[in-house]
Amino acid sequence: MPLVNDVHSRLNPIEVESIARPNSADDVAGCVRDCIGRGESLAVSGHRHAMGGQQFASGRTLLDMRALSNVVDFDVDRGLLTIGAGADWRRIVVATRSQDASGGPAWAIRQKQTGADELTLGGSVACNAHGRGLAMGPIVEDVESMSLVDGRGELRRCSRDENRELFELAIGGYGLFGVIVDITLRLVPRRKLRRIVRVLDLEDAYAAVERHELDGALYGDFQYAIEPSDDSFLRRGVLACYETVDDSCSVGGDGAGLSRDAWLELLSMAHTAKRRAFETYTRHYLSTHGRIYWSDSMQLSTYVPSYAEFLGATRGAEAVDESLVITELFVPPARVLELMVAARAILRRSRVEDIYGTIRSIRRDSTTFLPWARDDFACVILNLRTEHSPAGVERTRAVARDLIDAAADLGGSFYLTYHRWATRAQLLRCYPRLPVFLARKRALDPNGVFASDWHRHVATLLERDATTLRSGA
């Protein structure tokens, strides 16, 4: 049986029955109907960056969607791009520019996840991802419609007007309500942006962001200091905002980030010399203050393909097996200072290292059935260094749970599927609609064809009578 794992945390080694690689919507429907006929289940994956087990199902079929990556349609007049769910973000950006020479409108993506470009659009929609927009909700805002193969093996078009319930469940539904085949994205005019960089304390960051928004800033984030012994730990940081400028301004570069080698060096320093890592990062960003970027290419980024590659490049064969596990917390913006005070205490006490992290803004999601952005939130992202030993994993698990409690105590929440470490009480406290979500899953997927180890874990944890779970569901 093939062994698969996620490429980021590498904490989900799973044997699957087989790997299917469909090339069309008909292939996807055939795979689903075949599973129904055999009484089996399948899980849906893209580039396998997701970490919580939602893309894999032990002993089941794995549907690898990466071949479905072609442009289906491009309505240049309306700025609507329909593209296969297996397309990654660089391919999507290239597709948006394909009509630039025609003399028509120049379109661009509105947002994408940061940190990596080799992420499929279907995966982004299934987790309802977000980017660095200062006044944007999750990606559901950018989805006009999508084609989905449902639990009966039928291809259905879903939008706010057609099959609305399935639309609201499948976006942010973690692959449990069907296989997304293609997506129609709402594009925005391609703009030029000026990067504005400031080094300041978190206490001053939100006032600064508000000022930059008034000046036309569309994107921004705050990268915080990571040396636990410093007073600046999780407090002082680099604020980068991107303000709109006139189209006559000259673009200073296509990409907005560090090179791959520079990222490797910075990541190495974040393990061994955290203060120097923050100083180096700060110098780099200050050197780009005032530079002009395109609104789409500045969202593209350098990503080390795997943490194992980083370890091999910097430490060699003797490196301890470890990785970074993301925990993302959400709190009302007015309470982010309290959360960071609590996080400082938790991390210092446990000595679990936060290798890098950032704070972003998210606006309320009023569309999806199970919104993680149930209000306007500040998003705090931590990358927790985790040794792959029982003790190492347990240390990070305990810290993640303490951080979730800290956010919940402030009226906040956490992102559901970066790991499977939240307790039953935490799940119900932060996602009170989760039991109803699971009930809708059973109703709309009566054959239990869409499965994942994350779903099995959560369903067993929440449902008192686990014997009512259907096989494979």
176 and 199 in a single domain? The answer is no
Do 407 and 346 lie in a common domain?
yes
Claim to verify: residue 166 and residue 198 sit in the same structural domain: no
Per the CB < 8 A criterion, the answer to whether 174 and 441 are in contact is no
Residue among 425, 119, 426 at smallest CA distance from 415: 426
- Contact between 348 and 120 under an 8 Å Cβ cutoff? The reply is no
307 and 413 both lie in a single domain? yes
Pair 280, 401 in one domain: yes
Instruction: Looking at the structure, tell me whether residues 164 and 218 fall in a common domain.
Output: no
Rounded alpha-carbon distances, angstroms, from residue 42 to 74, 116, 124:
31, 26, 19
CA atoms of 119 and 184, how far apart (whole Å): 17
How many whole angstroms separate alpha carbon 243 and alpha carbon 112? 18
Q: Indicate the number of domains in the chain.
A: 2
Task: Specify if 60 maps to a domain.
Answer: no
End-to-end CA distance of the chain: 20
Domain co-membership, 184 together with 200: no
Whether 272 and 240 map to the same domain: the answer is yes
pLDDT of residue 253: 60
Angle between helices 336-350 and 390-409 (to 10 degrees): 160
Please check whether residue 11 lies inside any domain of the structure: no
Give the predicted TM-score (pTM) of the model: 0.94
Task: Please give the C-alpha separations between residue 89 and each of 56, 137, 169, 340, in angstroms, as whole numbers.
Answer: 22, 18, 23, 32
Are 140 and 148 in contact by the 8 Å Cβ rule? The answer is: no
CB 142 within 8 A of CB 153: no
Range of the domain at 366: 192-428
CB 114: neighbour CB atoms within 10 A? 20
- Within a domain: residue 10? no
CB 261, CB 269: distance < 8 Å:
no
Q: Are residues 391 and 418 in the same domain?
A: yes
SS (H, E, C) the chain: CCEECCCCCCCCCEECCEEECCCCHHHHHHHHHHHHHHCCCEEEECCCCCCCCCCCCCCCEEEECCCCCCEEEEECCCCEEEEECCCEHHHHHHHHCCCHHHCCCCEECCCCCCCCCCCEHHHHHHCCCCCCECCCCCHHHHEEEEEEECCCCCEEEEECCCCHHHHHHHCCCCCCCCEEEEEEEECEECCEEEEEEEEEEHHHHHHHHHHHHHCCEEEEEEEEECCCCCCCECCEEEEEEEEECCCCCCCCCCCCCCCHHHHHHHHHHHHHCHHHHHHHHHHHHHHCCCCEEECCHHHCCCCCCCHHHHHHHHCHHHCCCEEEEEEEEEECHHHHHHHHHHHHHHHHHHCCCEEEEEEEEECCCCCCCCCCCCCCEEEEEEEEEEECCHHHHHHHHHHHHHHHHHHHHCCCEECCCCCCCCCHHHHHHHCCCHHHHHHHHHHHCCCCCECCHHHHHHHHHHCCCHHHCCCCC
Whole-angstrom distance, CA of residue 130 vs CA of residue 146: 18
Domain boundary among 189, 221, 236: 189
Structure tokens at 129: 């991802």
- Is 148 in the same domain as 269? no
Nearest of 219, 184, 161 to residue 83 by alpha carbon? 184
In a domain, 458, yes or no: no
**Is residue 444 included in any domain, yes or no?**
no
Residue 107 lies in a domain: yes
Domain end call among 169, 189, 209: 189
Last residue of a domain, one of 189, 215, 232: 189
Of the candidates 138, 184, 132, 136, the one whose C-alpha atom is nearest the C-alpha of residue 298 is: 132
pLDDT tens for the 473 residues of the chain, in order: 899 999 889 999 999 999 999 999 999 999 999 999 999 999 999 999 899 999 999 999 999 999 999 999 999 999 999 999 999 999 999 999 988 877 778 999 999 998 789 999 999 999 999 999 999 999 999 999 999 999 999 999 999 999 999 999 999 999 999 999 999 999 999 999 999 999 999 999 988 998 898 888 999 999 999 999 999 999 999 999 999 999 899 997 655 567 777 888 888 899 999 999 999 999 999 999 999 999 999 999 866 656 666 766 666 656 678 999 999 999 999 999 999 999 999 999 999 999 999 999 999 999 999 999 999 999 999 999 999 999 999 999 999 999 999 999 999 999 999 999 999 999 999 999 999 999 999 999 999 999 999 999 999 999 854 444 444 44
Q: What is the pLDDT of residue 320?
A: 76
Where does residue 221 rank: exposed (0-12), middle (13-18), buried (19+ CB within 10 A)?
Answer: buried
Verify that 342 and 252 share a domain, yes or no.
Answer: yes
* Tokens found for residue 214: 């008034």
C-alpha 103/C-alpha 107 separation (Å) is 12
Q: Which of 11, 1, 13, 5 is nearest to 60 (CA)?
A: 1
Residue 453 in domain: no
Identify the pLDDT of residue 470.
43
Residue type, 23: N
Q: Identify whether 17 is part of a domain.
A: no
One domain for residues 113 and 199: no
Question: Given this model, what pLDDT does residue 465 score?
Answer: 44
CATH number, domain with residue 171: 3.30.465.10
Distances (CA, A) of 129 to 72, 168, 271, 367, 377: 22, 14, 28, 14, 14
The CATH number of the domain holding residue 409 is: 3.30.70.2520
